[in-house]
Amino acid sequence: MPARVGIPSTLLYYLYFPMWETFFQNLGAEVVTSGKTNKKALDYGVKEALADACVPIKLYFGHILNLKEKGVDFLFCPRVVCLNAETTYCPKFLGLPDMIRHVLTDAPPLIDTRMDVREGPGALLRAYGEIGRVFGAQWPAILQAYWKARRTWNRFYALLQAGWQPPEAMEMVKNKARPRIQKEKGELVFAVLGYPYLIHDQFISVGLLNKLHKMGIKTVTAENLPARSLVKQRDILDKRLFWTFSDLAYKATQFLLKNGGVDGIIHLTAFGCGPDAMLDKFMEMLIRQRSSIPFMSLTVDEHSGEAGVTTRLEAFADMVRRKKGAVA
Amino acid sequence: MPKITFPHVAEAQRALKMLMNDLGNEVVMPPRPSKRTLDLGVKYAPEFACFPVKILLGTYLETCPQGVELIVTSGGVGPCRAGHYAQLHKKILRTLGYPVDIIVFEPPRLYPLDLLHNVRKLNPHRMSYRSIYECVRRAWRKIQALDNIEKISHRVRPRELSRGATTRVYRQGVEWIDRAYTMKEIIEAEAAALEALQKVPQDPEREVFRVGIVGEIYVLLEPASNLEMEETLGNLGVEVERSMFLTGWTRDNTWDQTEENITVREAALPYLPELLGGHGRESVGNTVIYAKRGFDGVIQLAPFTCIPEIVARTILPRVAKDYDLPVLTFFLDEQTGKAGMTTRLEAFVDLLRYRKRQQQKLPKFAASR
């Protein structure tokens, strides 16, 4: 019987799951995900995690408990420190395996490999080698699995760059479906910036993207913007933001202000999020200083209500429409 | 002469003032953080920014109208937000119309040229590096002296016979050290203050609990931000030992008091092997060390939404369980009230007293764990 590896469907899942799934399947393991976020996962998380932690971390705890109930042999909870040699992830990501280990003492064994590309060339491969050896795989098999995983990820990433959102892209990579031509609809384009695990989690963002689509608004996220141009954005802050997602969101803002093409920018953030407290202010000041694009920051937490979010989105969309009508 | 200011960090600002004056700058003294400071800070800082951001911004907003041109502060490279304070403050202050510049002292090992550059900016009279070094050395000694008497005051306060005597003598000692200028005067003032503190009438028989304090550095150092918690605890009969001082010497001095001679980093290793930025790992490590040194309890202080401390706080219950050590956490923000904190502290001290009674009833081997 193959070993069952549990991958929580939150946090980095939205960016790296296709890669991880391919890797584990090629090593002969069975991949189990915790499924979509639901009320149960949230309730579990709120109960087990620290009250002062942010919602994503609480959800992570909830997803881990879901996986525990499903009966997995291993939990994949890597300590992802740095993947682009420049910025690190939030300190909570860095301490994630420790938090899980010391709070959920009866959780299945964790695979908590440290991934830090600053350690030198081949650091990532070494990390995956370490993971592979948990399943008793030899280097040739690991290399093959890693190569296939990278190929899957490239395919996945190409779909993101073509304008698909991670959940859709994951579906397409899985079914090997040809990307359909995207239906161009809607007269407004909003950029939704923030953490992918907030934006694409239908439950915690209260269906933000779908709501916008229903209002006839097209959406763009940081994953859809050309990665090369984002990297090339000049650092206009005195000091570069330390955190990968925050840095990305800030550069995406810069890119959007320079290249235009959006009618409004929404920053989705979680209540009590540390990096976002800084980022949000920096974004606000940047947008105010450089352009007249309307900007809204939307905070979600475990109590976010459907009606409240809808009202704010409608008001924002109305405001943008009126402004556009006045200008045109 | 450029007018400069800096954040208010307990009594250390007295030494900073001396240093800046020596270098030939005019100093606008930061006021002690008050309700007004907080109101100003909360008004202009991002909502979820941590407590120190708000206090510092409030302090700057109180000093900037007095014509400050330069703000001197510290930086950081960790993934902790503290590294971005200065940049955020500068942007906010500029938006509010204060033409200030901020000088950020980053870790000198990573940015040695920055250090020299910053020193040049603060040195309008072009003093030689040798004389600057002398000034820095004197200021450093002054901070050490201030830290030393504060440490002794923590030890004396729980045993004082008349309440408030220690605090009075301590304030006086701070004034003496503040007035001292040459190295010799500083050392003399320190000795005099220490002697005066030792002379405070004490009750050697009194039952005193030893409690370690860990957490984020600014709320540890600045009594105005933690609502004079150390004084409150001292009045409740608790001898506090803070894990961090500005001069950082406790970190080097306490390792030999544990049986295994471990450092903070090694102590934190089984629980938190990763450096999180801020003082998350130190909080965990120091708690382990306090437990090994036989302290009665540990109190963690952290600003609301502080990322490293949230990680530490998530792990601390496990440490508390493993070492059978009560740990109390305070997340501080502008809403924290003194009465609520005092009540919680009183309950904590009651718990410590109860535990001690229970342990005394048990046989020796069980109590000495």
d(CA A206, CA B198): 63
Q: What is the mean pLDDT of residues A130-139?
A: 90
Q: Smallest Cα–Cα separation from A11: which of A66, A101, A107, A79? A: A79
Q: Has residue A313 got a pLDDT over 50?
A: yes
Closest chain A C-alpha to B87 CA, distance in angstroms: 6
DSSP code at position A50: -
Q: Do A98 and B311 touch (CB under 8 A)?
A: yes
The pLDDT value given to residue B369: 44
Q: What is the C-alpha separation between A242 and B77, in angstroms, rounded?
A: 8
Q: Cα separation of A195 and A245, whole Å?
A: 6
Three-class SS of chain B? CCEEECCCCCCHHHHHHHHHHHCCCEECCCCCCCHHHHHHHHHHCCCCCCHHHHHHHHHHHHHHHHCCCEEEEECCCCCCHHHHHHHHHHHHHHHCCCCCEEEEECCCCCCHHHHHHHHHHCCCCCCCHHHHHHHHHHHHHHHHHHHHHHHHHHHHHHHECCCCHHHHHHHHHHHHHHHCCCHHHHHHHHHHHHHHHHCCCECCCCCCEEEEEEECHHHHHCCCCCCCHHHHHHHCCEEEEECCCCCCCHHHHCHHHCCCCCCHHHHHCCCCCCCCCCCHHHHHHHHHHHHHCCCCEEEEEEECCCHHHHHHHHHHHHHHHHHCCCEEEEEECCCCCHHHHHHHHHHHHHHHHHHHHHHHHCCHHHHCC
Q: Give per-residue pLDDT as tens, B84-113.
A: 888 899 999 998 999 999 988 887 777 888
**Are B190 and B145 within 8 A, CB to CB?**
yes
> Chain-wide mean pLDDT for chain B?
87
Chain A window 255-284: which residues touch B at a Cβ cutoff of 8 Å?
A: 271-278, 280-282
Mean pLDDT of B17-42: 91
d(CA A124, CA A116): 7
Say yes or no for a CB contact (<8 Å) between A90 and B307. Answer: yes
Residue B367 pLDDT grade (very low, low, confident, very high; cuts 50, 70, 90): very low
The pLDDT value given to residue A182: 60
Q: Is B255 on the interface with A (CB under 8 A)?
A: no
d(CA A165, CA A180) in angstroms, rounded, equals 13
Tokens 């951001």 — which residue? Answer: B53
Q: Do B84 and A278 touch (CB under 8 A)?
A: yes
Whole-angstrom Cα distance, residue A6 to residue A133? Answer: 17
* pLDDT higher than 60, residue A328: no
Please tell me the predicted confidence (pLDDT) of residue B93: 93
Contact check, Cβ <8 Å, A274/B280 = no
User: Of all helices (H) and strands (E), which one includes residue A77?
Assistant: none
Q: Which two tokens stand for residue B345?
A: 């502290």
Q: What sign results for the dihedral spanned by CA atoms B13, B18, B24, B27? A: positive
* DSSP state for residue A223 in the 8-state scheme: G
* Cα distances (angstroms) measured from residue B81 to each of A298, B52, B178: 21, 10, 32
- For residue A327, pLDDT over 80 is answered with no
Contact between A98 and B78 using a beta-carbon 8 Å cutoff: no
Evaluate if residue B253 carries a pLDDT over 60. no
Strand partners, A162: none
Which residues of chain A lie closer than 8 angstroms to B277, CB-CB? 91, 242
Model confidence pLDDT, tens digit, residues B228-248: 999 999 999 999 998 888 876
Length of chain A: 328
User: Hey, is the C-beta of A242 within 8 angstroms of any chain B C-beta?
Assistant: yes
Q: Do B79 and A114 touch (CB under 8 A)?
A: no
* Cβ–Cβ < 8 Å for A189, A6: no
Instruction: Please count the residue pairs, one from chain A and one from chain B, whose beta carbons lie less than 8 angstroms apart.
Output: 116
Q: Which residues of B touch A272 (CB under 8 A)?
A: 48, 304-305
What phi and psi, each to the nearest 5 degrees, are found at residue B26? -90, 130
- C-alpha B288, offset from chain centre: 20
Rg, chain B, Cα only:
21
For residues B229 and B338, give the distance between their C-alpha atoms in angstroms, rounded to a whole number: 9
CA B260 to each of CA B158, B255, B285: distance values in angstroms, whole numbers, following the listed order: 30, 8, 14
Considering A185-189, B283-287, B364-368, the range whose residues carry the highest mean pLDDT is B283-287
Q: B238 forms bridges with which residues in the sheet?
A: B209
For A172-193, the pLDDT digits (tens) are: 888 877 666 666 566 789 999 9
Write the ipTM.
0.88
Distances (CA, A) of A316 to A215, A287, A300: 11, 16, 16
Quickly state the pLDDT bin for B250 (edges 50, 70, 90). Answer: very low
Asked whether the beta carbons of B223 and B153 are under 8 A apart, the reply is: no
What is the pLDDT at residue B63?
93
Closest listed residue to residue A197, CA positions, set A240, A165, A169: A165
For B129-163, the pLDDT digits (tens) are: 899 999 989 999 999 999 999 999 999 999 999 98
For residues A261 and A290, the answer to whether their CB atoms sit within 8 Å is no
B contact test, residue of A250, A281, A283, A289 with most B CBs within 10 A: A281
CA atoms within 13 A on the CB side of B86: 21
Tell me what pLDDT residue B60 has.
94
> Which of A79, A238, A243 faces B274 most closely, judged by CB atoms?
A79
> What is chain B's length?
369
Q: What are φ and ψ of residue A313, in 5° steps?
A: -65, -45
pTM tops 0.80, yes or no:
yes
Tell if the CB–CB gap between A95 and B315 is shorter than 8 Å. Answer: yes
Q: Which of A88, A99, A114 sits opposite B314 (nearest CB)?
A: A99
∠ CA B168-B172-B174 to the nearest 5 degrees? Answer: 115
Mutate one of A46, A242, A243, A284 to test the B interface: name it (highest B CB count within 10 A): A242
Q: Is A52 on the interface with B (CB under 8 A)?
A: yes
Q: What is the pLDDT of residue B150?
A: 92
- Nearest Cα neighbor of B36 from B52, B55, B12 is B55
Give CA–CA dist A273/B306, Å, rounded.
Answer: 9
Higher per-residue pLDDT: A50 or B284: B284
Distance from CA of A103 to the nearest CA of B (A): 7
Q: What is the pLDDT of residues A60-104, one digit of tens each?
A: 999 999 999 988 999 999 999 998 888 889 888 998 999 999 998
Residue of B nearest to A241 (CA): B84
Categorize the per-residue pLDDT at B362 as very low, low, confident or very high, splitting at 50, 70 and 90: low
Q: Give the whole-angstrom CA distance, residue A94 versus residue B275.
A: 8
As a whole number, the mean pLDDT across chain A is 89
Other beta carbons less than 10 A from residue B359's beta carbon: 16
